[in-house]
Amino acid sequence: MDKIKMLINGEWVGAGEDEWLPVYNPSTGEKLAEIVNATEKQIDTAVEVAREAFESKEWKSFKPYERGQLLMELATYIRENKDKLSELECLDVGKPMTQARNDIEAAARYFEFYAGAADKLMGDSIPIEDGLLDVTVLEPMGVTAHIIPWNYPIQIMSRSVAAAIATGNAVIVKSAEDTPLTANALAKWFAQCKLPKGIFQHVTGLGSTAGSHLVSHEGVDQITFTGSVKTGITVMKAAAESVTPVTLELGGKSPNIVFQDADLEKAAEGVKNAIVQNAGQTCSAGSRLLVHSSIKETFVNQLAEKFDALKVGRGIEDPDIGPILNKRQYEKILSYLEIGKKEGKILTGGEPVKVEDTSGYYIQPTIIDGLEHNSTLAQEEIFGPVLTVFTFEDIEEAIALANQTEYGLVTGIWTSNIDTAHYTAQGVKSGQVFVNNYGAGGGVQMPFGGYKKSGIGREKGFEALKNYVQIKNIAVKYNM
């Protein structure tokens, strides 16, 4: 069993007098490691060190292309160690190995993408009048705090850290207390790279203590948070005390809309994958199915057959669906299923699964029909492999149903009619819209974020760079 120490000021921090928290393998229930529950003093030190590193002549002398070269080296390192990192992600989160491998490649792609962007983020010149040169300069925010969720730790860490370092910021990562292994693995690379000490630091601990102190710290200049709406609101309130800008990605209740002219086989495969990936523990999961009434019975039966064929098991064995992260999340999902049994009809699944020789928590992939549009299961993010089904009669009703939650993260549209596709895409209140696909293979280049309570700002793509820079306008008067 490993004791995972924090990386602060280039040193590994964690001693016997610190409070240590257990980390468990969701697939088996076995203890994997222990992490430090960082104290306020340790967080203070990390912020002070980050400030010193950011202001240092050493860091200011790093040219943008040199930052890019370092990020490219990290992308190469990730690919060279993909087997080890995939296993760590699988053990830590419980997700199937195939999905873990995809996450490792996505992490490499983020560092690769933002490596290429590091020297291509430019200001502009603004025409005012003769004798006045007006330009905008993009400058780094300073010290950025990154609160990483437990469901996609290496992906979500990589997408924000890469963009922040590419733009010249100092980074403090607070990994989720349940899933710190791959963050620690990347911290080991940062500890040995050419970056100044303090430009990248990794702290661990409970969100309610270590995370809370970090996001409320006056020395932090920008916060990126991925998690629940409730915690996101808490982060936003804490940031408001020091007027710290935030980027929030807070989840969704995303619909897949299947029209009567869709390719039903492709749609069924897409709808299935959108909800069972990572056992449904995905902010962008397609957790609502909106299907035209004329094809409902045919399509849902086809979908149920696909669900019934899915294998549930330990992540390391590469099944279709792995475990639920922990007992708390497992019991929450079961409570939703009980509501579903009372208020609707379970078409398939709906029960726990016992996997031999494990103490992990597993749930059958589930389809629930017969719910009211305003029911709890239709409105709340379950964060498990649970799909709710609703019907519509025409395109206007489909759009209205798609928009009938407090979220607006992703929408899938399945149709062979280009007019239907464009009209629906325009009508839905959603940060991403996919037509005849769902997810586009991760889409490192595509801006990701939501409308309404799904969050503030965008991650991924060039848009994410804007989170980590501020605009300075310089006007120069000259005489001829």
Residues 117-169 pLDDT 10s: 999 999 999 999 999 999 999 999 999 999 999 999 999 999 999 999 999 99
Active site residue 112: no
pLDDT in tens, 421-473: 999 999 999 999 999 999 876 789 999 999 999 999 999 999 999 999 999 99
pLDDT bin (cut points 50, 70, 90) of residue 50 is very high
User: What is the pLDDT, as a whole number, of residue 200?
Assistant: 98
Question: What residue type is 357 in one-letter code?
Answer: D
CB 62 within 8 A of CB 211: no
How high is the mean pLDDT of the chain?
97
Quick one: pLDDT at residue 439?
Answer: 86
* Catalytic pick among 90, 112, 283, 459: 283
Marked catalytic residue, from 34, 87, 249, 381: 249
What is the C-alpha separation between 401 and 358, in angstroms, rounded? 40
> Is the confidence at residue 14, as pLDDT, over 70?
yes
Q: What is the pLDDT of residue 409?
A: 97
Residue 283 is among the residues annotated as catalytic for this protein = yes
- Its pTM stands at 0.96
pLDDT, tens digit, 9 for 90 and up, residues 282-313? 999 999 999 999 999 999 999 999 999 999 99
Structural domains of the chain sorted by starting position, each given as residue range(s) with its CATH number in brackets: 2-250+457-474 (3.40.605.10), 255-441 (3.40.309.10)
Write the secondary structure of the chain as one string of H (helix), E (strand) and C (coil). Answer: CEEECEEECCEEECCCCCCEEEEECCCCCCEEEEEECCCHHHHHHHHHHHHHHHHCHHHHCCCHHHHHHHHHHHHHHHHHCHHHHHHHHHHHHCCCHHHHHHHHHHHHHHHHHHHHHCCCCCCEEEEEECCEEEEEEEEECCEEEEECCCCCHHHHHHHHHHHHHHCCCEEEEECCCCCCHHHHHHHHHHHHCCCCCCCEEEECCCHHHHHHHHHCCCCCCEEEEECCHHHHHHHHHHHHCCCCCEEEECCCCCEEEECCCCCHHHHHHHHHHHHHHHHHCCCCCCCEEEEEHHHHHHHHHHHHHHHHCCCECCHHHCCCECCECCHHHHHHHHHHHHHHHHHCEEEECCCEECCCCCCCEEECCEEEECCCCCCHHHHCCCCCCEEEEEEECCHHHHHHHHCCCCEECEEEEECCCHHHHHHHHHHCCCCEEEECCCCHHHCCCCCECCEECCEECCECCHHHHHHHEEEEEEEEECCC
- Tens of pLDDT, residue by residue over 212-270, are 999 999 999 999 999 999 999 999 999 999 999 999 999 899 999 999 999 999 999 99
